[in-house]
Structure 1
Amino acid sequence: MDHRLQNWGIFLLLSLTWGSSFILMKLGLEAFTPYEVASIRLISGGLSLLPFFFRFIRQTPVRKVPVIILSGLLGNGIPAYLFCIAETKIDSSLAGMLNSFTPVFALLFGLLIFRAPVTGRQLGGLAVGFVGVIFLFLAKGINTNAYWYYGFFVVLATACYGLNIVLVHHYLKGFASLQLVSISLFFMGLFALPVLLSGNFFSLFAGAGDKPWISLSASMVLGIMGTGVASILFYQLIRSAGAIFASMVTYGLPVVAIGWGLLAGEYVTMLQVLCLALIMGGVYMVNRK
């Protein structure tokens, strides 16, 4: 298969998979708490890659394992809970829009922590992106303080994503994608298991109809496809097409998220779309060669 065609195929699959994650969270939250949905996601993702964990853990230097676990916390563990908590109060489409801010945080942390070289255009992109996020919060109108509070969870999750990108780039660059994902998700699943068992998760299935099973299915698909398989595809896209092309997935996610939100009956205003365009403009300024 032509490499360009293969790269675009991975790009579209990632956009659809990650863009659908936000509506899958909403489906999971219909029967479960945000902590249960996030825990199921992490456990399912870890189990789906368990055979690879046993293969790669023996090949990994012991001193690198804590760094990989930290990468797992920043790239999957903490954001999984933050997004689910946020979506108890905000629309999945809005969460998808805010998620597009990740590359801007990656540049910011690279600048602040590792003193990465930065151009004036990229600094301008940071400013434009931040303005877009602020206006996106304001676009729906501020009726209660809770709206700001839950929207902040999404911004914090994108900050974790951005910090993880910088961490992987500087400390885990020589490792295979499947190696990093399988090891990190194994430990995320271990950490999530006590959280899932601490509630009344299993009692929810006793004579409650189909809703818990639908939510369980959505949460498991979210973990296997949106966390496990998609993470591997993303690293493969970076190796095959480069970081610049891979970062373009950021542009596809909110489009898919908005589409699912509209199908689910969520209200998306033109002002929100314009704010998203402003964020995307900032991301473009940050990533453009």
Structure 2
Amino acid sequence: MKKKLWMTYGMLTLATATWGSAFIAGKLAVQSFEPSTVAFIRFLGAAILLFPIMWVMEKNRKKPTIKDLGLFAILGLTGIALYNICFFIATKHAPVIKSSLFIASNPVLIVLLSGLFLKETITKNHVVGMIIALSGATYIITDGHIIDLFKLGFEPIDFVLLGAVVSWAIYSVVGKVVLKKYSSVESTTYAVAFGTLFLLPFALADTTWHDITQANVMTWLAIAHMSIFVTVISFIMYYYGIKQVGAAKASIFINVMPVSAVLMATFFLGETLTTAHAIGAILVLSGVFIGTNPSLFKRKWLKKNTAA
């Protein structure tokens, strides 16, 4: 059982680390297309891959009821359509410091909603681990200059970033309900299908045939990466993780994303890895470790009292 749990944690770490690459790939893609178009092409490609995977892996699929289709539509609207439109708009227009911090704050809202609507138990470890991991993410994003957050002030783009955070939190919580009946592959496939349909009218309004023909190879490679690795593989792993450990605990791993984004920016964009990045990464990993070990404080307390 313990081995299976660590495998789940490994999958969640890999999934959220892969999401970090979306900041870089998205930055490349929005140079050629509008945010809604990037999101639509990304998920259209993902849907084309996901349906054959589902047909092969899920031989005994349940036929979705009207209620189930409604839940899948909510998943598609929140986690696929709205979140990604907001994400790519932020990638194009918001400072990286601000957009990264907003995304890193996702676990806070997910934990609150999980406690309110799913009645998941919110432990001391959840709260402590989440605070430490969020502190680490903030330290990385601001490069150790946390006071810079207050200098940025409030801007209209903050509503877009808030929309991204709320959309993903709803997606994670509703996803937990759907996973009681459907596998992670089925849930991801149906959510992506609905999300792609919701994105279609926006993409048609924002894109011309000239835009498509003028896009360079790097743009298409960036979108292909987001379709295959960031969406298909990582979404399935994340949903599997939610099913195994719950939305609240799985959400702590989202803090791995900024660590991954910084490391990838160092390797691929030539950015400098600073001491602040290293300190932040240690805080994030420590927070994830504390948040996923429910008996950690209890064990230490028992040892202390036994020794006495």
Q: TM-score per shorter chain, which class?
A: 0.7 to 0.9
> Is residue 2:183 matched to residue 1:176?
yes
Going from structure 1 to structure 2, the CA distance change for 1:9 and 1:279 (only over 3 Å counts) comes to: closer
Tell me, which stretches of 5 or more residues in structure 1 are unaligned?
Answer: none
Tell me, which stretches of 5 or more residues in structure 2 are unaligned?
Answer: 295-308
* Of 96-105 and 261-270, the range deviating more from structure 2: 261-270
C-alpha separation in 2, matches of 1:69 and 1:18: 22
Equivalent of 2:221 in 217, 220, 233: 217
Tell me the amino acid that sits aligned with residue 264 of structure 1. Answer: L
What does 1:187-202 correspond to in 2, within 5 Å?
187-202=194-209
Structure 1 partner of 2:269: 264
Q: Contact between 1:22 and 1:93, CA under 8 Å: does it hold in 2?
A: no
Q: What secondary structure is seen at the aligned counterpart in 1 of 2:78?
A: helix
What does 1:97-116 correspond to in 2, within 5 Å?
98-114=102-118, 116=120
- In percent, how many aligned pairs have the same letter? 21
CA RMSD of aligned residues (A): 4.0
Structure 2 partner of 1:255: 259
Q: What secondary structure is seen at the aligned counterpart in 2 of 1:231?
A: helix
Q: Contact between 1:36 and 1:201, CA under 8 Å: does it hold in 2?
A: no
Q: Contact between 1:101 and 1:283, CA under 8 Å: does it hold in 2?
A: no
Equivalent of 1:63 in 36, 57, 67: 67
1:139 shift after superposition = 4.7
> Is residue 2:193 matched to residue 1:186?
yes
Going from structure 1 to structure 2, the CA distance change for 1:163 and 1:43 (only over 3 Å counts) comes to: same
Structure 1 partner of 2:240: 236
1:203 shift after superposition = 0.6
**Larger-Rg structure:** 2
C-alpha separation in 2, matches of 1:179 and 1:215: 29
Going from structure 1 to structure 2, the CA distance change for 1:57 and 1:71 (only over 3 Å counts) comes to: farther
Structure 2 partner of 1:24: 25
C-alpha separation in 1, matches of 2:124 and 2:18: 34
C-alpha separation in 1, matches of 2:179 and 2:9: 26
C-alpha separation in 2, matches of 1:131 and 1:16: 18
C-alpha separation in 1, matches of 2:287 and 2:155: 22
Q: What secondary structure is seen at the aligned counterpart in 1 of 2:92?
A: coil
C-alpha separation in 2, matches of 1:37 and 1:75: 15
Q: Contact between 2:188 and 2:239, CA under 8 Å: does it hold in 1?
A: no
1:225 shift after superposition = 2.2
Tell me the amino acid that sits aligned with residue 106 of structure 1. Answer: I
